[in-house]
Amino acid sequence: MIRKAFVIHAKEGKIEEYIRHHNPIWPELKEQLQRHGVTNYSIFYREGSQQLFGYLEVEDEALFEKLAEQEVCRRWWLLMTSFLECENESSTKAKEEMLTEVFHLQ
């Protein structure tokens, strides 16, 4: 199992909308995440900030990378650009800062 973690930042005043869109996520997106080996996926909000922390586990990196080819995933990412900080105005996906694992207790 491969563990992945990232930080993303909500745009000012958009955190509530972001949270609302995740409760629940689109059923077809959930299905594609599971088909592409994603399990144990959580996103946490740091109260009083615009910061969000995501954690997920994937079975296989190559299978996971194919998730980006799915139309529902691209539509979701584009929607999320309304709520999250992006590299630039024409970005089709929010800016993710991938984190490096330094400790794991099994």
Q: Is residue 82, in this structure, part of any structural domain at all?
A: no
- pTM for this structure? 0.93
- CATH of residue 12's domain is 3.30.70.100
Pick the closest to residue 4 from 38, 30, 35 (CA basis). 38
41 near 58, Cβ under 8 Å? no
Dihedral over Cα of 66, 104, 101, 25: its sign: positive
Give the domain range for residue 60.
2-71+87-98
Q: Is 9 a catalytic residue?
A: no
**Mean pLDDT, all residues of the chain:** 97
Q: Is residue 51, in this structure, part of any structural domain at all?
A: yes
Q: Is residue 79, in this structure, part of any structural domain at all?
A: no
SS3 106: coil
What length is written for the chain?
106
SS3 6: strand
pLDDT band at 6 (very low <50, low <70, confident <90, very high): very high
> pLDDT tens digit string along 32-84?
999 999 999 999 999 999 999 999 999 999 999 999 999 999 999 999 999 99
Catalytic residue among 9, 22, 36, 104: 22
